[in-house]
């Protein structure tokens, strides 16, 4: 490999990037825009759930029970209704997701120590959210039930009962359980992979479409020099995108960076190089810019979004799909980014994921060189 020829190809590609300033702006601007939009729009937090109440009791006891719902940030009280027709209308019009029906004998039953049934009707069109809402409602009802039980035991014995189990919980790495701390580092990996592949998926295909590949074929440039020379300028762009993404994640979304910055950029470099090489490989096979860009989108964004584990737990996927995730590079980079950002762990824990990214980058580069043909057939 001749370093002069390698740098000449890199300089040629750099000049092309500088001339196409709009593509360069998009290459930097699109990741920022996507990270901004996904970071604020994509959330798994379930709070301020709208709910209405049909309070048939209308007593201090029923109002005390309903105050448990209005006093928490997880529910947003939209007012009282009268009758099941009004409840159904509230759910149909999406004015409410949860409705509560308090029976007329609520106060008498709770005062006498008898069981009373409170009906909770939830909109199940979004199954995951409905399950979380029912969990919130059940927890509030259980807490109120325990309060009544403790009050009755104290009245009978003269002293409060000791709970049989004193469970004290502690959440590590994300104490407030904010979904942005889970989503933003993951979506950063997805966006970087997409942009990197799109940037280089047009390189070789563009040479074929514009007829400049004939000139390269007639030169003594070797295949390895051609591929690596075209990769070098885009590695710089990819790392610049990573710097911007990390700064936005830390300072705009306030996601804590607990691990090593050096390690983060080291594994990020391997991911960027591997994904850029994947784009060049696509460009080599496609030979058409439109087809290459479509192949890059399908082979990077969709697998990374659905199968990387950044938003959907891999353990909950079918066994066959779980097997497919092992060949998705974004799966390993998402695990590395979250491990470094949130857990603050190093290579002692993350070395298998880092090793896969290294192997992926080397294999992608080798295949790109192998499949690049300096012939006009």
User: How big is the chain by its Cα radius of gyration, in Å?
Assistant: 29
Average pLDDT, integer, range 315-330 = 89
pLDDT, position 264:
92
Beta strands 119-122 and 98-102, pairing class: antiparallel
CA nearest to 55, candidates 96, 20, 102: 102
Average pLDDT, integer, range 232-239 = 86
pLDDT, position 119:
92
Per mean pLDDT, which range of 15-29, 94-108, 291-305 is the poorest?
15-29
Average pLDDT, the chain: 84
**Banded model confidence at residue 37, pLDDT cuts 50, 70, 90:** confident
Contact 123, 74 (CB under 8 A): no
Q: What is the pLDDT of residues 290-312, one digit of tens each?
A: 787 788 888 888 888 888 887 77
374: pLDDT strictly greater than 60:
no
Average pLDDT, integer, range 64-71 = 90
Which of 104-118, 219-233, 263-277 is most confident?
Answer: 263-277
**Banded model confidence at residue 54, pLDDT cuts 50, 70, 90:** very high
Query: What is the Cα–Cα distance from 61 to 103, expressed in whole angstroms?
Result: 12
Domains along the sequence of the chain with CATH: 3-43+178-371 (no CATH), 49-157 (3.40.1710.10)
Q: What is the dihedral of CA 348, 352, 356, 358, to 10 degrees?
A: 20
CA nearest to 357, candidates 185, 192, 198: 192
pLDDT, position 218:
66
Measure Cα distances from 220 to 23, 103, 217, 226 in Å: 30, 88, 8, 10
Query: What is the Cα–Cα distance from 274 to 184, expressed in whole angstroms?
Result: 22
Measure Cα distances from 305 to 4, 173, 356 in Å: 40, 23, 19
CA nearest to 77, candidates 140, 24, 148, 31: 140
């Amino acid at each position: 490999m001749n370093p002069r020829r390698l740098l000449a190809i890199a300089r040629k590609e750099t000049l092309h990037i500088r001339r196409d300033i709009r593509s360069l702006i998009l290459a930097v601007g699109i990741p920022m825009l996507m990270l901004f939009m996904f970071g604020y729009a994509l959330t798994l937090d379930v709070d301020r759930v709208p709910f209405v109440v049909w309070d048939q009791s209308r007593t201090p006891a029923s109002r005390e029970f309903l105050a448990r719902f209005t006093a928490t940030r997880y529910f947003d009280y939209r007012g009282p209704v009268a009758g099941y027709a009004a409840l159904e209308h509230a759910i149909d019009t999406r004015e409410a997701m949860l409705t509560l029906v308090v029976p007329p004998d609520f106060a008498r039953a709770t005062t006498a120590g008898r069981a009373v049934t409170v009906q909770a009707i939830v909109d199940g069109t979004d199954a995951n959210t409905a399950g979380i809402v029912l969990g919130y409602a059940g927890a509030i009802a259980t807490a109120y039930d325990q309060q009544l039980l403790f009050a009755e035991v104290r009245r009978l014995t003269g002293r409060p009962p000791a709970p049989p189990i004193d469970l004290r919980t502690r959440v590590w790495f994300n104490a407030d359980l904010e979904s942005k701390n889970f989503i933003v580092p993951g979506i950063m990996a997805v966006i970087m992979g997409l942009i990197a592949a799109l940037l280089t998926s047009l390189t070789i295909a563009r040479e074929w479409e514009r007829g400049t590949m004939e000139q390269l074929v007639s030169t003594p440039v070797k295949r390895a020099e051609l591929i690596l020379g075209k990769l070098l300028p885009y590695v710089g762009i990819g790392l610049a995108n990573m710097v911007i993404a990390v700064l936005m994640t830390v300072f705009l979304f306030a996601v804590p960076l607990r691990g090593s910055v050096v390690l983060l950029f080291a594994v990020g470099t391997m991911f960027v190089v591997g994904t850029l090489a994947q784009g060049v490989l696509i460009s080599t096979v496609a030979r058409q810019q439109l087809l290459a860009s479509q192949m890059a989108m399908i082979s990077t964004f969709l697998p990374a979004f659905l199968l990387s584990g950044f938003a959907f737990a891999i353990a909950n996927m079918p066994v066959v799909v779980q097997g497919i995730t092992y060949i998705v590079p974004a799966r390993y980079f998402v695990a590395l980014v979250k491990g470094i950002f949130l857990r603050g762990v190093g290579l002692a824990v993350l070395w298998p994921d880092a090793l896969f990214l290294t192997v992926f980058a080397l294999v992608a580069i080798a295949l790109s060189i192998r499949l690049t043909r300096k012939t006009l057939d």
